Amino acid sequence: MSSEGPDLVCEVDNVQGIVDALTAVRWKRQQDAVVELSEHGVVLIVEESSCLQAKVYLQRELFIKYEYGGAQGRPRFGVSLGLLVNCLNTFSVPGSGRSSSTIEIRYPGPDMQLLLKSVDSLDACIYAEIRTRIPETISWDYNFEPAGTTPISFTVKSAALKEAIDDLEWPGSSVQIILQPDPPSVTFKGEGHGDLQIDFMYYVNTDLLIAFSCDHQVSYRYKYKFLQATTSNIPSSVIRDNRGSKLTIGRGGMLKVQHLVSVARPSIPHPHVDSAGYQQPSRIAYIEFFVKPEEDESTIND
Amino acid sequence: MKFKAFLTENGVNLLEKRFLPALDKMGKICHLYLTRDHTMFLHNLLNGDGIQSVAQFRKEALFDDYRISSQNEDRIAFAIDISLLQRAVRSSVSICTEFGSGPTQNRLQIKLVKKLPPNCTQPMPFLTFETKGYKSAVIQDVPISKPFSRAQVIELQTALDMAQDLPQTLVQVPDLNQLQNFVDRLKHVGDLLNVSISKYGDLLVQISTTLITVGAEFQKLLVIGEQADAPAEDRNLSAQTRSARAISRGDAQSVQVSVKHFAKSLQCHLAKPDCAFYGIAPQGACLTVIFQFFIPGSRQTDKSISLHCRLPVLDPGSS
């Protein structure tokens, strides 16, 4: 007999971490997100005009409790991202004597709502119900394929990446990203109201460019506003931790930008944190952006 | 009509640091109502729209050498701008401390006067603050409205009597700060706040829009007045279900108020009350919040000070 129980009942002990991860993909005030539930965790997807897509992976290890009951397939629902984030913010109430609260998230409610409830205290609780909708199928299949046998990618300190992209706002509406193997380097170029070129040299700026892989020169243009969306809302914790963000250029110039957001409670030392501040993957949320390149005959590729 | 009194050090502290900042949030203009025994600051009693608030002091709590006389059974009332009053008290205090040591040296006198302001042909009424030092005196005139006529005072007193109705059940708010933080976040969600109070000591505060419902429930609060035991079978139900059941049993009431009014009423924490109680008036006429002040160093109510607010109900909930 199929169970009548909910598809998912889970508990989160650091709401702020979840809010940080979700905020990383909020580049507009009003965004409709698609949420997908599975036994592996929760994935939230937002996209814009078939040119930009972002995914937040919250794997089940982030939750202190994760009971997945979804029988067939992966339940999906649509929800307003802004509403979800604002709602989660009401749960982390300062001045309540605790730095974070534990909340239970349940789906679906009797009316297919997303149900949230704080479970810290017996005599006081905050609760919320968010209306969901049947999601549209994602229009664009972001099938990311590697560019060739050798991946074209680099890892750069997140703070440096954000700063570079912020600086490129000045020249104009599109940014050219050029990777070349010899000398190994990444160049960001903006042209418009004046020119700006930012170079990261692999063997020179070793504190900024952490990893690099490229066997032939590639160059693609991306619309500035989409590129900016990939770093504009990086949570301050990511900048502070100064982890690396990985950028990969796939076939056809599709750009993948990956960030890691810590979801662990900062006040309590995690048993898996070593001296360098590295945390086990289980306390990290993964953010992925996919940006389509601009159609441009003048891209220089082999 | 005559009014003259000296503000004591205690009075200055109560007004300058606590009550005037809180009352300033209730509204710019308030009615100052002076009687033989009491001094009251009243907001919105004569017009029905905003939050009504009543701050009442026995004269000894604020003044020394209090003298009042009028043809209206020694009652005087007028409208005054709270921020101007606050400014006058504040600057008088700084002058006081500048000029001498100790409260007996420079006494802060408040007087009702009629003066001819510059560029005016008619004398106008003022509440005057006078600080007398060794060599000089500083005088500050706070403009006030024409003092109320007999009929107006009666109207004010009647409105005051109606505002003193106590709800049958009052629940003690556990943490004003926490509630204020929560309600401040709710302001972004919507405009209408549902407040439910039960005889079991449950307080539910909720906002609903078509897309989202957010609320907070506090259980097992201290109850003053009519109380009852929560039925055991309701224990594991959701907050909203529990509240709906209690209302259908007649053990709870629910009203809708403006979230902005509710947030404003919480600003009364600036008066530094020791605790606060919420209750719904009979027939859901309004939401009442009563602030309690203890005699310093004890848990006994200081009966010489009282502050309470009444929030207009927007849509009569079930009662």
Option in B185, B213, B216 nearest A129 (CB): B213
Mean pLDDT of B38-52: 91
Between helices A81-91 and A15-23, what is the axis angle to 10°? 160
Helix (H, G, I), strand (E, B) or coil at B32: strand
Tell me what pLDDT residue B106 has: 58
Tell me what pLDDT residue B116 has: 87
Mean pLDDT of B30-37: 95
pLDDT at A129 over 90: yes
User: For residue B142, what are the β-bridge partners?
Assistant: B127
Tell me what pLDDT residue B278 has: 96
For A163-215, how does the pLDDT look when each residue is reduced to its tens digit (9 = 90+)?
A: 999 988 876 688 999 999 989 999 999 877 778 889 988 888 778 888 999 99
Tell if the CB–CB gap between A96 and B181 is shorter than 8 Å: yes
Residue scoring higher pLDDT (B280 or A266): B280
Helix (H, G, I), strand (E, B) or coil at A11: strand
Min Cα–Cα distance to chain A from B166, Å? 26
End-to-end Cα distance, chain B: 46
Tell if the CB–CB gap between A131 and B220 is shorter than 8 Å: no
In this prediction, residue A138 has a pLDDT band, given cuts at 50, 70 and 90, of: low
Option in A86, A93, A129 nearest B178 (CB): A93
Helix (H, G, I), strand (E, B) or coil at B22: helix
Which residue, among A123, A130, A133, would best test binding to B if mutated, counting the most B CBs under 10 Å from its CB?
A123
pLDDT at A95 over 50: no
Question: A219-238 burial, b for 16+ CB within 10 Å, e for fewer?
Answer: bbbbbbebbbbbbebbbebb
Tell me what pLDDT residue A146 has: 80
Mean pLDDT of A238-267: 85
Of A30-44, B120-134, B187-201, the range with the lowest mean pLDDT is: B120-134
Write down the mean pLDDT value for chain A. Answer: 84
Mean pLDDT of A218-243: 90
Option in B188, B189, B219 nearest A124 (CB): B219
Tell me what pLDDT residue A299 has: 46
Tell if the CB–CB gap between A90 and B214 is shorter than 8 Å: yes
Which residue, among B171, B183, B185, B187, would best test binding to A if mutated, counting the most A CBs under 10 Å from its CB?
B185
pLDDT at A96 over 70: no
In this prediction, residue A71 has a pLDDT band, given cuts at 50, 70 and 90, of: low
Q: Establish if A125 touches chain B: CB-CB under 8 angstroms.
A: yes
In this prediction, residue B102 has a pLDDT band, given cuts at 50, 70 and 90, of: low
Which residue, among B183, B211, B237, B259, would best test binding to A if mutated, counting the most A CBs under 10 Å from its CB?
B211
DSSP 8-state assignment for residue A136: P
Report, in angstroms and rounded to the nearest whole number, the Rg of chain A calculated over CA atoms: 21
Q: What element of type H or E holds B276? A: strand B275-280
Mean pLDDT of B96-124: 76
Q: Establish if B99 touches chain A: CB-CB under 8 angstroms.
A: no
Tell if the CB–CB gap between B218 and A83 is shorter than 8 Å: no
For B256-276, how does the pLDDT look when each residue is reduced to its tens digit (9 = 90+)?
A: 999 999 999 999 999 999 999
Option in B175, B212, B220 nearest A128 (CB): B212
Contact B27, B54 (CB under 8 A): no
Mean pLDDT of A32-50: 92
Q: Establish if B175 touches chain A: CB-CB under 8 angstroms.
A: yes
pLDDT at A41 over 80: yes
Contacts of residue A196, defined as CB under 8 A and 6 or more positions apart, other chains included, come to: A167, A168, A170, A171, A189, A190
Whole-angstrom distance, CA of residue B280 vs CA of residue B171: 10
Mean pLDDT of B61-69: 93
Option in A86, A95, A126 nearest B188 (CB): A86
Tell me what pLDDT residue B198 has: 94
Tell me what pLDDT residue B135 has: 67
Tell if the CB–CB gap between A87 and B220 is shorter than 8 Å: no
Q: Establish if B263 touches chain A: CB-CB under 8 angstroms.
A: no
Contact A168, A196 (CB under 8 A): yes
Tell if the CB–CB gap between B178 and A123 is shorter than 8 Å: no
pLDDT at A78 over 50: yes
Q: Which positions in chain A touch B184 (Cβ < 8 Å)?
A: none
Nearest residue to B33 (alpha-carbon basis) of B66, B75, B61, B4 = B75
pLDDT at A45 over 90: yes
Tell me what pLDDT residue A132 has: 95
Q: Which residue carries 């890892």 as its tokens? A: A155
pTM for the full predicted model: 0.82
Tell me what pLDDT residue A94 has: 57
Mean pLDDT of A127-151: 81
Of A84-98, A233-247, B269-283, the range with the lowest mean pLDDT is: A84-98
CB pairs under 8 A between A and B: 61
Q: Establish if B220 touches chain A: CB-CB under 8 angstroms.
A: yes
Whole-angstrom distance, CA of residue B276 vs CA of residue B188: 25
In this prediction, residue B20 has a pLDDT band, given cuts at 50, 70 and 90, of: very high
In this prediction, residue A1 has a pLDDT band, given cuts at 50, 70 and 90, of: very low
Min Cα–Cα distance to chain B from A63, Å? 22
Q: Which residue carries 């409208």 as its tokens? A: B79
Contact B64, B89 (CB under 8 A): no
Contacts of residue B122, defined as CB under 8 A and 6 or more positions apart, other chains included, come to: B116
Neighbours of A183 (CB within 10 A): 10
Tell if the CB–CB gap between B212 and A130 is shorter than 8 Å: yes
